[in-house]
Amino acid sequence: MTKTALITGAASGLGYEFSKLLANDGHNLILIDIDADNLKKVRVELEKSYDIAVKLLVKDLSQPNVAAEIKDALDDQVIDVLINNAGFGLFGSFHNTDWKRELDMLHLHIITSTHLTKLILDDMVSRNSGKILNISSLAAFQPGPLMAIYYASKSYLLSFSEAIANELKGTGVTVTVLCPGPTKTAFQQVVSEQAADESSENKIDFNMASSSEVAEYGYKAMLKGKTVAIPGILNKFLASLHRFVTRGAAANIVRRVQEKNRTE
């Protein structure tokens, strides 16, 4: 029987790469994004290249109750794989940044991802089968001055995923949380543009991975049922930085990196 995967933020970046990996393995796809035009292009490409069906849902995942809307639109479709990938960043001192944008981020990263997981997880447990992949970040492991809400929300996703992965032991359902370092996606461009109109590129491109490399790493980890997946030896070391320095020192390091990377 053909399995079905649901991917959020599927119009570009990691979501697009995950879609290709799942399509290559014969999954039918339900792709969700706010970018209707790119979603349609992805569907045409995937249905042309693979013998699968692709359903599109154009949704603003930062809005309240959108997870329930998605569940209703599934019309009892069995979901075998859920990938909560959609996300965005915001650069700046917290007292200066736009609250509406931050509220949207909190809804997207925390509320929508959590609610969608809850709505789909119950059926997975009843079938004793299913895989969930939540996209967090290397940012989850330390405080993030100048991107405070982003770092904090990714920390939530890491903790939440680890907790329910433990709860689900023995059920046949696994939860994996992918925590990549800097990755070449539109995310980097958008955050950099917020910091300086003159630049749409990161000034620091050391340790920058491609979206295809990161997606493949996370996909393999999900298939194996690994709980926490951190691609790259340097990223694994940085994730454990708190073992060697205080959290205050880690926050200072993050701030210096952000200032050098994002500002003129």
| Neighbouring residues of 25: CB distance < 8 A, sequence distance ≥ 6 | none
Residue 84's pLDDT band (boundaries 50, 70, 90)? very high
Domain ranges of the chain: 4-262
Specify whether the CB–CB gap between 139 and 147 falls below 8 A.
yes
| 175-199 core/surface letters (b: 16 or more CB in 10 A; e: else) | bbbbbbbbbbbebbeebbebbeeee
For 70-74, 160-164, 183-187, which range has the lowest pLDDT when averaged over its residues? 183-187
pLDDT of residue 263: 61
pLDDT tens digits, 206-245: 557 899 999 999 999 999 999 999 999 999 998 887 787 8
Residue 75, sorted as left (phi over 0), alpha (psi -120 to 50) or beta, turns out to be: left
Helices assigned H by DSSP within 84-210: 99-106, 113-127, 148-167, 186-195
4-262 has which fold?
Rossmann fold (3.40.50)
pLDDT band at 107 (very low <50, low <70, confident <90, very high): very high
Rg of the chain on CA atoms, in Å = 18
This prediction has a pTM of 0.89
